[in-house]
């Protein structure tokens, strides 16, 4: 049984995450998204304002982070993941049932493994207790398989995507009624043998009247004839067990002859052989539930995030994969800001066909950094197969997303600010490839206008000529003007819109870089203010 909720043809495993993932999290405020994804809440009743109690699942938080920071690299992978996310949103109850069953099964596996290590391996009475514990564990694993099977069967008529229906169908075809009935009968017979059931075994006599080739013939309840393990389990599993016992008991001939002469030991050996037969089954199901726990956690996070942000009026869409040279969107908002303020931020639109350099300038407090961050968040969400907070979104797929944002600690440093920025930039360039996107936010603003512009121009020119997508917000007007005057074919210049009265709309418009600043607005407001107001 394979869990293919995240990939069509494989399970979650060794896929590579973004190279600079911790920097991405910090610059794009992704941690608030991860935490929100792990927060569960009950929907309030319509028309009633109620306080929503939030409960955070750290496993969902962690898996949302791991999956979001591991990019999908093909259009087919993105589409498949989108369908599974869509199913989780549309049929939240289904994915929640799977997650809860996998979570409890995972806890059962962890507890059993810890207890097994603690008790070690004994003999005699201790060995009998171990067998009882092993049988109980087997029964619990079968119980959780039944939980998954019930979820698949009960929801199969409600699926909205072919991909989810196919996944459920594959599970039900493997865990079909005949297999399930046979498995449960075998497990029940094993349990019967430990209570008051009758166990029939046969053995040959070897040299010195020692027993060899111990074979389990039957397990049955008292006063019941011929309804035991081998005869009642459709013959198939019983046949495998019979062969296994013959092989295993031959291997213990030499050193355990004295033990086998004791009836209790014969029973322990027989139980041990039966549980040994189930070891591959248990190992397989442990992997199955581990994968189910990991994969459903991400889908739970995606659905939680959808419902939480949807409540504040944010539109969502599943993005379209296009060539790397193109990017366009309509109504894009900054997700982390929406979560922080619990209201829908100002939306923006972009059409950048065959443009791999986008330069954003304009006055301070105009929404430029928020705009750049919204693009970065949307790109990360798109590349993990999630929806995007926009009316429409189209972009290429990139192996790596790099961010270089000026942070509070940069401006608070007394020395070495430029060295720190250049060090981060050098690290990025050393690992940059053509299939990367680089987001620069006020980079090299920690030095003079002239020096910062020269650095920015050299780096941007080299990346532009290599075809690397660069999107940048800058206050280095000498650089922006110089770049604009060269009229590069694949470049787009935007500016934070500022109305004639100084009001900022927080929208980016296509415009030639111009000298504007928040400081000049403030100066003008103070100089022209009436005397009474300025006092």
- pLDDT above 80: residue 172: yes
DSSP state of 498: E
pLDDT band at 1 (very low <50, low <70, confident <90, very high): confident
- What pLDDT is attached to residue 225? 42
Residue 26: the pLDDT is: 95
CB-based contact 59:253 (threshold 8 Å): no
**pLDDT per residue over 117-150, tens digit each?**
776 654 445 666 787 888 889 999 999 999 999 9
| Lowest pLDDT segment from 113-122, 146-155, 223-232 | 223-232
Query: What mean pLDDT comes out for the span 448-473?
Result: 93
Most confident listed range (121-130, 237-246, 397-406): 397-406
**Residue 46 class from Cβ within 10 Å (0-12 exposed, 13-18 middle, 19+ buried)?**
exposed
pLDDT at residue 277, rounded to an integer = 80
Q: Which two tokens stand for residue 22?
A: 């911790």
Contact at 8 Å (CB) between 322 and 78?
Answer: no
Taking only the tens place, the pLDDT of each residue in 299-324 is 999 999 999 998 889 999 999 999 99
What does the alpha-carbon distance between residue 507 and residue 323 come to, in Å, rounded to a whole number? 26
The confidence band for 275, taking pLDDT boundaries of 50, 70 and 90, is: confident
Q: Each residue of 62-77: pLDDT tens digit?
A: 999 999 999 999 999 9
**Residues 5, 86: Cα–Cα separation, whole Å:** 12
Q: What confidence category does residue 525 fall into, taking pLDDT thresholds of 50, 70 and 90? A: low
Average pLDDT over every residue of 13-20: 90
Q: What percent of the chain is predicted at pLDDT more than 90?
A: 58
pLDDT at 233 over 80: no
Give 444-448's long-range contacts (Cβ < 8 A, gap of 24+).
444/418, 444/476, 445/406, 445/474, 445/475, 445/476, 446/406, 446/410, 446/411, 446/413, 446/417, 446/418, 446/421, 447/417, 447/418
Report the pLDDT value the prediction gives residue 230, as an integer from 0 to 100. 40
- What is the mean pLDDT of the segment spanning 236-250? 46
- Kindly state the helix (H) or strand (E) to which residue 509 belongs, with its residue range: strand 504-510
Question: Smallest Cα–Cα separation from 348: which of 383, 391, 317, 395?
Answer: 391
Tens digits of residue pLDDT in 461-517: 999 999 999 999 999 999 999 999 998 999 999 999 988 777 889 999 999 998 655
pLDDT of residue 199: 58
Euclidean distance between the first and the last CA atom of the chain, given in angstroms as a whole number:
76
Which is nearest to 232 in space by CA: 193, 182, 276?
182
Q: Distance of CA 274 to CAs 93, 124, 143, 178, 202, Å?
A: 38, 17, 19, 21, 15
Q: Could you tell me the pLDDT band of residue 227, with boundaries at 50, 70 and 90?
A: very low
Q: SS3 for 133?
A: helix
């Amino acid at each position: 049984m394979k869990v293919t909720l995240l990939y069509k043809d494989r399970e979650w495993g060794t896929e590579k995450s973004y190279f600079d993932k911790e920097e991405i999290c910090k610059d794009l405020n992704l941690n608030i998204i991860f935490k929100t994804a792990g927060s569960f809440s009950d929907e309030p009743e319509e028309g009633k304002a109620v306080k929503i109690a939030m409960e955070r699942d750290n496993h969902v938080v962690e898996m949302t982070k791991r999956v979001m920071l591991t990019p999908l690299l093909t259009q087919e992978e993105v589409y498949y993941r989108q369908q599974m996310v869509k199913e989780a949103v549309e049929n939240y109850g289904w994915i929640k049932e799977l997650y809860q069953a996998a979570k409890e099964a995972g806890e059962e596996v962890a507890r059993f493994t810890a207890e097994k290590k603690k008790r070690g391996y004994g003999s005699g009475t201790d060995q009998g207790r171990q067998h009882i514990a092993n049988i109980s564990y087997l029964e619990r694993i079968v119980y959780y398989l039944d939980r998954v099977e019930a979820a698949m069967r009960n929801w199969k008529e409600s699926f909205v995507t072919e991909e989810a229906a196919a996944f459920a169908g594959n599970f039900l075809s493997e865990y079909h009624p005949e297999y399930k009935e046979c498995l449960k009968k075998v497990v029940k017979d094993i349990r019967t043998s430990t209570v008051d059931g009758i166990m029939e075994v046969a053995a040959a006599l070897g040299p010195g009247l020692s027993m060899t080739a111990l074979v389990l013939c039957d397990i049955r309840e008292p006063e019941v004839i011929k309804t035991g393990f081998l005869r009642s389990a459709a013959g198939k599993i019983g046949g495998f067990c019979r062969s296994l016992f013959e092989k295993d008991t031959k291997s213990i001939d030499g050193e355990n002859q004295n033990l086998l002469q004791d009836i209790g030991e014969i029973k322990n050996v027989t139980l041990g052989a039966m549980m040994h037969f189930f070891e591959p089954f248990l190992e397989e199901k442990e992997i199955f539930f581990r994968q189910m726990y990991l994969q459903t956690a991400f889908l739970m996070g995606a659905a939680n995030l959808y419902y939480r942000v949807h409540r504040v009026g944010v539109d969502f869409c599943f993005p379209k994969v296009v060539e790397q040279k193109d990017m366009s969107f309509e109504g894009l908002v900054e997700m982390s800001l929406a979560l922080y303020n619990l209201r829908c931020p100002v939306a923006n639109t972009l059409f950048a066909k065959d443009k791999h350099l986008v330069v954003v300038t304009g006055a301070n407090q105009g929404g430029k950094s928020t705009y750049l961050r919204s693009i970065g968040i949307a790109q990360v969400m798109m590349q993990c197969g999630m929806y995007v907070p926009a009316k429409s979104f189209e972009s290429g797929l990139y192996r790596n997303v790099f961010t270089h944002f000026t942070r509070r600690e940069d401006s608070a440093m007394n020395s070495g600010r430029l060295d720190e920025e250049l060090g981060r930039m050098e690290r990025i360039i050393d690992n940059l490839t053509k299939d990367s996107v680089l987001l620069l936010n006020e980079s090299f603003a920690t030095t003079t206008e002239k020096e910062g512009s020269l650095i920015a121009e050299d780096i941007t020119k080299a990346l532009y000529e290599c075809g690397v997508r660069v999107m940048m917000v800058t206050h280095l007007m000498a650089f922006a003007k110089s770049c604009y005057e060269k009229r590069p074919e694949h470049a787009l210049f935007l500016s934070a819109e500022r109305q004639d009265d100084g009001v900022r709309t927080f929208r980016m418009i296509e415009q030639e870089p111009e000298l504007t600043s928040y400081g000049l607005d403030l100066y003008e407001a103070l100089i022209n203010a009436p005397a009474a107001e300025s006092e």
